[in-house]
Amino acid sequence: MRKSKTKSKAMAKADRYFSQYIRLRDSDHNSMAICITCGVQKHISEMDAGHFIDRSHKATRYDERNVNAQCRTCNRFQSGRQYEHGLAIDLKYGTGTAEQLLQDSRKITKTTQGEFEAKAEEYKQLAEEQREYKRC
């Protein structure tokens, strides 16, 4: 049981840094980001890292194409506006990307505690690089 709790903490840490990275990636030098589904512009502290395919699908959980800055209204109160999110993903990354993510999400994957810890370190570093870049 202890191992599972530690794995959960590693996953939560990876999620936190991944979310920071996505919101920073999608923001300008003033930390303002545009919601991928409704187009509203807000500070990243008021935005979520919205998943097109739900995080429960581990195969696409950390796929950067699957996650974009999204206002809290769209993400939390309008179920992520999945249809609009899919259309926007195809515009951003190319036609068929949303369908490919849907296909990929059906793959069965098992992530270890070590893999979650590595993801956390990777996205912690990428988020810091984005912060430094935005300061310039």
Express each pLDDT in 15-33 by its tens digit.
999 999 999 999 999 999 9
Residue 2 has pLDDT above 60, yes or no: no
Burial class (CB in 10 A: 0-12, 13-18, 19+), 94: exposed
Give the CA dihedral 97, 103, 105, 109, nearest 10 degrees: -120
Pick the range with the lowest mean pLDDT from 1-5, 19-23, 59-63: 1-5
Dmax over Cα atoms in the chain, in whole Å?
Answer: 46
pLDDT of residue 4: 52
> Looking at residue 88, what is its pLDDT?
98
Question: Locate tokens 């984005």: which residue?
Answer: 130
Nearest to 72 by CA among 91, 54, 45, 106: 45
The alpha helices in 26-112, defined as continuous H runs, are 72, 82-93, 97-105
- The pLDDT tens digits of the residues spanning 26-59 come to 999 999 999 999 999 999 999 999 999 999 999 9
pTM of the model: 0.92
The residues, ordered by sequence, that sit 6+ positions from 126 with a Cβ below 8 Å of its Cβ are: 17, 21
pLDDT digits (tens, 9 = 90+) for 103-135: 999 999 999 999 999 999 999 999 999 999 888
**In angstroms, what is the C-alpha Rg of the chain?**
15
Please report the pLDDT score of residue 1 as a whole number.
37
Phi, psi (deg, nearest 5) at residue 20? -60, -45
